Amino acid sequence: MTNKNVDIGKPRLGKDSTIQLLGWLLEYAYHHHHPKLLVAVTKTFPAIQEVFQHPDKHLLQLHSFLQTFRKCGPLPELRSSSFMLSLNNALVDFVQVHPVIFCSVPRNDMTKLMSALRWLLIASSVHDKKFTTSDIKNLINQVCPILTETSNEWKTIQNVLAIDQIIDEDFDPKKTRSSLKLSFSRTRSYWEKKIESTEKLASEREKDCSLTLIKVFETVKEILWKIGTYISSLLPKTVLEQIEDGMMPPVQELKYLKYTLENNTLSDQFLLLMLNGISIDFN
């Protein structure tokens, strides 16, 4: 049981130790789907996302996104351009570092997933009123480029898909490029027509796009779940859990956490209390 009367104090930590503790809280929030804690940590120290150092950062972020889908459903996240951009980037980062995923998720499935998520990213941006037509056109050109055999965009995708590695026997680079080229072309054509005038863009934004977004998401949902299962098998216990189990914190200033966590449970209530007890003053 959590000791509700516990006084975890307001430790006067140095800058490095403070960032370390915030990072451990962020890690726990990512790992165990604690959206309130994630928001609170980011609000307390907005720069934490930039300075957060973790050997499995890309895994944690993608794991967090997939947990959100599985526990809360695809909406409203599919309508959030920032969420979809982060998901796309996290997926690419993950695949580049863990090409062994292609043993569980064939590269043909991964290219299908990449195409669908890019389509959804554009859709979320089209329906986000903070983006201008010019912004959307730039995004379309960026995420759905023309893939010539010698283009830099194709070289980047080749790197992401580990083209030079024989992992799944059914994979054919030429067919993959043709498939992506066709998919990107159709996506460009579809959305360019939607935004070719201010009137058409306004009309599109008045529509409820929820059913269309969910329909596209459903075509690749099972691929995402496979990736999620794989990631779950890779992630070790968080630092806070290890300290709770008796590990001594590797930072001298944070050794008080060993006693604190041994006598409490890692609940939202306790973690938010811990966050509120951190004194942040880097000036």
Residue 61 falls inside a structural domain: no
CB 255 within 8 A of CB 9: no
Q: Does one domain contain both 133 and 183?
A: yes
Identify the CA nearest to 279 among candidates 12, 3, 7: 12
User: 91 and 216 share a domain?
Assistant: yes
Kindly give the interhelix angle for 107-126 and 133-143, rounded to the nearest 10 degrees: 170
Q: Are residues 96 and 191 in the same domain?
A: yes
In a domain, 65, yes or no: no
Tell me the residue range of the domain where 246 lies. Answer: 1-56+236-283
Q: Is 182 found in the same domain as 124?
A: yes
Q: What's residue 1's pLDDT?
A: 40
Domains: count for the chain: 2
pLDDT digits (tens, 9 = 90+) for 221-270: 999 999 999 999 989 999 999 999 999 999 999 999 999 998 889 999 99
In degrees, to the nearest 5, what angle opens at C-alpha 161 toward C-alphas 157 and 166?
Answer: 140
Q: Do 151 and 208 reside in the same domain of the chain?
A: yes
Taking the model in full, what pTM does it have? 0.82
What is the CA angle 5-8-12, rounded to 5? Answer: 155
Residues 6+ positions from 72 with CB-CB distance below 8 Å: none
In-domain check, residue 187 = yes
3-state secondary structure of 159: helix
Residue 256 lies in a domain: yes
* Of 171, 163, 141, 166, nearest in space to 153 by CA: 141
Determine which helix (DSSP H) or strand (DSSP E) holds 83, and give its type and residue range: helix 81-97
Q: Using one digit for the tens of pLDDT, what is the confidence trace for 33-67?
A: 999 999 999 999 999 988 998 888 888 989 998 99
Q: Are residues 258 and 160 in the same domain?
A: no
